Structure 1
Amino acid sequence: MCGRYAAAKDPATLAAEFDALDATEGLAPGADHNVAPTKEVVAVVQRHPRDELGVADSSRTQRSLRVMRWGLIPAWAKERSIGARMINARAETAATSNAFKSSLAKRRCLLPADGWFEWRKEGGHKQPFFMTRPDGETLAMAGVWTVWRDPRDKDGLPMVTAAVLTTEAQGRLAEIHDRMPLLMAPEHWAGWLDPDAEDPGDLLTSPPPLDLVESLELRPVSSKVNNVRNNGPDLLVREEPVTDLDEPTLFDG
């Protein structure tokens, strides 16, 4: 699974890296070294641009950065609280899931991350690890998104929410946890984001490239990351395992 990750790069840096327009409109969250469910995050999407009347230009697409809430709220949901349980979508079943199948066909995205956290069971405790690229390059986690409107508030603003797709852990990552985010290599970004391709095909069913997975650093870190109130670059610093660890909490409250 992916229940926590780090995303500390500013929109300008991400826009350059993903060859995208910054459409966050100043609403992008700041550097977050402990991204938890229900937080605002930056996502990369590719859509047909619309004119002032809302008519889409089917002849071209535009890639952009958007702000979304982590935890997908299906359009049919009556309560927003369901989003806290919809942070991940299994790649193996997303195409048939009532919660995710529509988004998978029409609204795919990439969620940029410096890395993600996972916990390995060691005796009576769980040791946190940070999975990241040693070169500092951004990881692109495949995701899906949707728009939700509160049925009790007809005049309220719509909420844009997203979920991370996960797959079976590959290589050394399987020693930490049996699941991992579905990582997209740069050469697959365009195919994944294509708004006209309803079936992502092998991009959904194939595991992430083994060379990408094997290049990751599996870094033991402090148990401070277990508490979502803690935040800062110190959470990403290597810290050799200790024996007295608190259990992680996915979200505050």
Structure 2
Amino acid sequence: MCGRFTLVTYPEKLMSRFHLQEIPFDLRPRYNIALGQQIPAILADGGRHRIGQLRWGLVPSWAQDDKIGYKMINARAETLQEKPAFRRLFERKRCMIPADGFFEWKQMDGRKQPMRLTMRSGELFAFAGLFDTWTAPDGQKLHTCTIITTRPN
């Protein structure tokens, strides 16, 4: 399960790695990205990649309210096509969520100690993700996403 991650890189490096033309928002180093925050997400757009920001915690378009997003931060790869909340999104609304590390917690002396995991090379990578747009009763649109996870290797 991914509950926190990092993205500490230069915009030029992110643009090069994911073949982006521009980053239309201020990209700052983030050492503790958490649920409910706006996160960078890369979407396919007519054969090109474009980057935007989505709120982490999926709120499906059919949801009654946005509180469900706090329960849907991750989607297990093994059951994506079985779960009604993810099945349609898996077919049409995929994204990449850039990162350079993520945290897992290890029990040490009765406490949880965060352990940051990165690529050996230190390079950027991306989580696979799903996204959707929910419309609030007042007409406001909320763009959200979830990270696809699997068993640890």
TM-score norm. by structure 1 comes to 0.57
For residues 63-82 of structure 1, the aligned pairs below 5 Å read 63-82=49-68
Residue of structure 2 equivalent to 1:37:
35
The percentage of counterpart residues that share the same residue type is 35
| Deviation string, structure 1 residues 219-253 (Cα, Å, up to 9, x no partner) | xxxxxxxxxxxxxxxxxxxxxxxxxxxxxxxxxxx
For residues 226-245 of structure 1, the aligned pairs below 5 Å read none
Tell me the C-alpha RMSD between the 2 structures. 1.5
Superposed structure 1 runs of 4+ greater than 4 Å apart: none
Displacement, 1:13? 2.5
Q: What letter is aligned with 1:102?
A: R
SS at 1:136 equivalent: coil
Q: What letter is aligned with 2:111?
A: H
Residue of structure 1 equivalent to 2:143:
160
| Deviation string, structure 1 residues 127-180 (Cα, Å, up to 9, x no partner) | 211000232200211111111111x112x2x2111111000110xxxxxxxxxx
Are 1:145 and 1:160, in contact at CA under 8 Å, matched by a contact in 2? yes
Distance 1:46 1:30 in 2: 23
For residues 193-232 of structure 1, the aligned pairs below 5 Å read none
Structure with more relative contact order (C-alpha pairs < 8 Å, separation 6 or more): 2
Q: What letter is aligned with 2:15?
A: A
Distance 2:79 2:14 in 1: 30
| Deviation string, structure 1 residues 70-121 (Cα, Å, up to 9, x no partner) | 1111111111111111110000111121211111110111111110001022
Q: What letter is aligned with 1:25?
A: P
For residues 187-198 of structure 1, the aligned pairs below 5 Å read none
CA distance 1:35–1:101, change in 2 (3 Å): same
Unaligned runs of 5+ in 1: 49-60, 171-253
Are 1:72 and 1:86, in contact at CA under 8 Å, matched by a contact in 2? yes
Are 1:109 and 1:144, in contact at CA under 8 Å, matched by a contact in 2? yes
**Higher normalized helix content (fraction of residues):** 1
Distance 1:62 1:34 in 2: 29
Residue of structure 2 equivalent to 1:9:
9
Are 2:24 and 2:51, in contact at CA under 8 Å, matched by a contact in 1? no
Residue of structure 2 equivalent to 1:18:
18
